[in-house]
C-alpha cells in the first residue's frame, strides 16, 4: 500500500502522585498549553485537555508513528520537569505511574470533548476513582483493584 491512512482518537487520563490536588487554577492553563506542545512535538493533535487539581484528561488525534506508552512517558516526564523548574509546587512534583487510555470513533469525539470540558461539573457528583473505574468498565478494560491509582494517603 502506497500510503497509510488512520483516524485514531485516544483519551488519556493520568493522576498526580498519590492523587494530591496540586494543580492550581492560576497555572493549570499554562500547564495544559505546555502539555499540548509536547503532544504536538510528536505530530499528534490535542482535541481537548482539562482536568482537576489531582488529574488530567487529554483527547487527542493520535498518529501511529509512536507508541502511546512512549508519548505518555514524554508528556509526564517533560511536564513534571516543567512544573518543578518553575517552582509551581512545594517539594517535588510527579505524576503517578501508569495511565488510562481509551479509544473513540469519530462520531464520539464531540461527546468526549464536552465531557472533558465539563470536568468540574462531573466531579461535583463523583470522585476521580469513581470516574476512572467507570471509564474502565465502559471500555471493557479488565483491571486489578490493587493497581488502580493510589488513594490519597
Mean pLDDT calculated for residue range 68-72: 98
Mean pLDDT calculated for residue range 102-124: 94
Q: Quick one: pLDDT band at residue 3, thresholds 50, 70, 90?
A: confident
Closest CA to 150 of 132, 135, 136: 132
Task: Please check the confidence at residue 152 and state whether its pLDDT lies above 70.
Answer: no
Task: Please check the confidence at residue 2 and state whether its pLDDT lies above 70.
Answer: no
Collapsed DSSP state (helix, strand, coil) of residue 14: strand
Mean pLDDT calculated for residue range 97-116: 96
Task: Please check the confidence at residue 153 and state whether its pLDDT lies above 60.
Answer: no
The predicted pLDDT at position 130 comes to 84
Q: Do 148 and 127 form a contact (C-beta atoms < 8 A)?
A: no
Closest CA to 99 of 149, 38, 46: 149
Mean pLDDT calculated for residue range 86-97: 94
CATH superfamily of 9-147: Transposase IS200-like (3.30.70.1290)
What ranges do the domains of the chain cover? 9-147
Amino acid at each position: 500500500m502506497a500510503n497509510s491512512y488512520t483516524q485514531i482518537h485516544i483519551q488519556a487520563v493520568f493522576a498526580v502522585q498519590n492523587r494530591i490536588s496540586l494543580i492550581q487554577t492560576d497555572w493549570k492553563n499554562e500547564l495544559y498549553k505546555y502539555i499540548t506542545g509536547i503532544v504536538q512535538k510528536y505530530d499528534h493533535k490535542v482535541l481537548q485537555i482539562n482536568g482537576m487539581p489531582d488529574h488530567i484528561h487529554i483527547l487527542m488525534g493520535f498518529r501511529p508513528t509512536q507508541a502511546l506508552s512512549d508519548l505518555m512517558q514524554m508528556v509526564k516526564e517533560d511536564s513534571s520537569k516543567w512544573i518543578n523548574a518553575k517552582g509551581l509546587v512545594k517539594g517535588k512534583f510527579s505524576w503517578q505511574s501508569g495511565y488510562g487510555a481509551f479509544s473513540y470513533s469519530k462520531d464520539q469525539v464531540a461527546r468526549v470533548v464536552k465531557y472533558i470540558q465539563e470536568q468540574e461539573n462531573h466531579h461535583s457528583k463523583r470522585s476521580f476513582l469513581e470516574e476512572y473505574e467507570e471509564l474502565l468498565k465502559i471500555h471493557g478494560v479488565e483491571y486489578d483493584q490493587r493497581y488502580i491509582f493510589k488513594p490519597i494517603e
